[in-house]
């Protein structure tokens, strides 16, 4: 018998900013085109151009209802409204080793080197559903696990799998090439609906001094999907000009970026673009900025070697990633995930420009 889900209240969205900011010029993919073979081909062309040039794009008509997305925001808010002491009980035991499922409290990064002021970013990561991970959550999340699982599985089927298919088509590989290494039932640290993220507001006077809210970085998986409030803040470093551009949150559009694993597996053909979160424009600085993020990652056992059987990569000469070029061992997705997350947990702290070889052959950097 279905269990009645308690009401969560509605989530209050703020108005779009009135400020004219240097917005990034990004392509919008219409996923309704995906239904037909011709539409798919056309979409694959638009997609690959977008991710080779900018690494970020928007998606519309993605088959997940606004109500379902709003419900996730209401849940995120319910989680963050819990007392800190309760949230702290969900910090993972293996946090320092790069473990990442559960709660990450604010204050890990110095965002104003002059005064030592720390970030106000809180993260709650929910692992995949299935038999590989246990699900221990505080009440608002635990009570709604069925709703969360349904959201996650819908996102996987309606958005992530089509995107994985488009990469394969664009690289002239069998359509299921990437889907087969992202199977939901095979273990990956592929965080499911993944993350409720809160960038807590800072006083306006502090915002002027801050280097960033979240320092510049690339994401480690295949795709990151960002369901966003209309609060600006996300910026990408334009790969062609190295200028920071704002990524406008747009009503009804999902923001998506391609990430490190795809860059590594395509020898750099697909971009993993550097991005950061800055204090929002003044007319939006009075709110906490919530996000619902979905991280798609290859299965843990996948080796992040450059794909050798793509006619496109061979023709265009994208045949080696930095591990292969430097003669170092190519990591599995599991090794890559823990190495990068560990560095983000520890190497990142304090120094804003920390730079380190995360794994032999792959220097990492915090971009400010």
Choose between 102 and 291: whose C-beta lies nearer to ligand AKG.
291
**Applying CB under 6 A, does 29 fall inside the site for ligand AKG?**
no
d(CA 289, CA 308): 42
**Applying CB under 6 A, does 102 fall inside the site for ligand AKG?**
no
Choose between 24 and 293: whose C-beta lies nearer to ligand AKG.
293
**Applying CB under 6 A, does 231 fall inside the site for ligand AKG?**
no
Position with the least CB separation from ligand AKG: 234
**Applying CB under 6 A, does 275 fall inside the site for ligand AKG?**
yes
What is the token pair recorded at 195?
A: 């993350």
d(CA 16, CA 284): 8
Give the nearest distance from C-beta 332 to ligand AKG in angstroms. 21
Q: Which residue has the tokens 């560095």?
A: 343
Choose between 43 and 277: whose C-beta lies nearer to ligand AKG.
277
Position with the least CB separation from Fe ion: 219
**Applying CB under 5 A, does 219 fall inside the site for Fe ion?**
yes
Mark 280-319 with x for binding to ligand AKG (rule: CB under 6 A) and - for no binding.
-----------x-x--------------------------
What phi-psi label fits residue 317: left (phi over 0), alpha (psi between -120 and 50 degrees) or beta?
left
d(CA 295, CA 19): 30
Among ligand AKG, Fe ion, none, partner that 291 touches (CB below 5 to 8 angstroms by kind): ligand AKG
Distances (CA, A) of 255 to 207, 220, 245, 331, 367: 25, 17, 14, 28, 21
What is the token pair recorded at 157?
A: 């089927």
Nearest to 257 by CA among 7, 61, 10, 26: 26
Positions in the binding site for ligand AKG (CB under 6 A): 197, 214, 219, 226, 234, 275, 277, 291, 293
């Amino acid at each position: 018998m279905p269990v009645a889900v308690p009401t969560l209240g509605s989530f209050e969205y703020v108005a779009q900013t009135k400020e004219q900011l240097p917005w990034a010029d990004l392509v919008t993919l219409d996923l309704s085109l995906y239904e037909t073979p011709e539409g798919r081909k056309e979409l694959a062309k638009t997609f690959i151009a977008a991710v080779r040039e900018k690494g970020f794009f928007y998606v519309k008509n993605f088959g997940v209802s606004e109500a379902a997305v709003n419900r996730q925001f209401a849940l995120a808010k319910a989680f963050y409204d819990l007392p800190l002491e309760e949230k702290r009980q969900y910090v993972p035991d293996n946090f320092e080793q790069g473990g990442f499922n559960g709660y990450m409290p604010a204050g890990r990064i110095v965002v104003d080197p002059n005064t030592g002021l720390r970030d106000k970013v809180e993260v709650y990561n929910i692992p995949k559903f299935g038999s590989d991970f246990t699900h221990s959550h505080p009440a608002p999340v635990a009570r709604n696990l069925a709703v969360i699982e349904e959201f996650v599985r819908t996102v996987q089927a309606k958005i992530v799998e089509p995107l994985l298919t488009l990469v394969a088509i664009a690289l002239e590989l069998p359509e299921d090439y990437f889907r087969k290494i992202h199977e939901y039932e095979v273990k990956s640290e592929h965080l499911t609906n993944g993350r409720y993220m809160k960038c807590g507001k800072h006083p306006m006077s502090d915002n002027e001094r801050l280097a960033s809210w979240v320092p510049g970085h690339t994401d480690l998986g295949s795709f990151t999907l960002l369901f966003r409030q209309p609060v600006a803040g996300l910026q990408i470093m334009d790969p062609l000009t190295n200028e920071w551009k704002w990524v406008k949150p747009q009503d009804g559009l999902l923001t998506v970026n391609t990430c490190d694993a795809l860059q590594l597996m395509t020898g750099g053909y697909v971009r993993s673009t550097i991005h950061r979160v800055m204090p929002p424009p003044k007319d939006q600085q009075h709110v906490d900025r919530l996000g619902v993020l979905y991280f798609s990652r290859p299965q843990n056992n996948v080796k992040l070697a450059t794909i050798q059987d793509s006619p496109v990569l061979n023709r265009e000469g994208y045949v080696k990633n930095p591990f292969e070029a430097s003669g170092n061992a190519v990591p599995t997705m599991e090794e890559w995930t823990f190495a990068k997350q560990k560095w983000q947990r520890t190497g990142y702290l304090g120094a804003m420009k920390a730079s380190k070889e995360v794994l032999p052959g792959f220097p990492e950097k915090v971009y400010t």
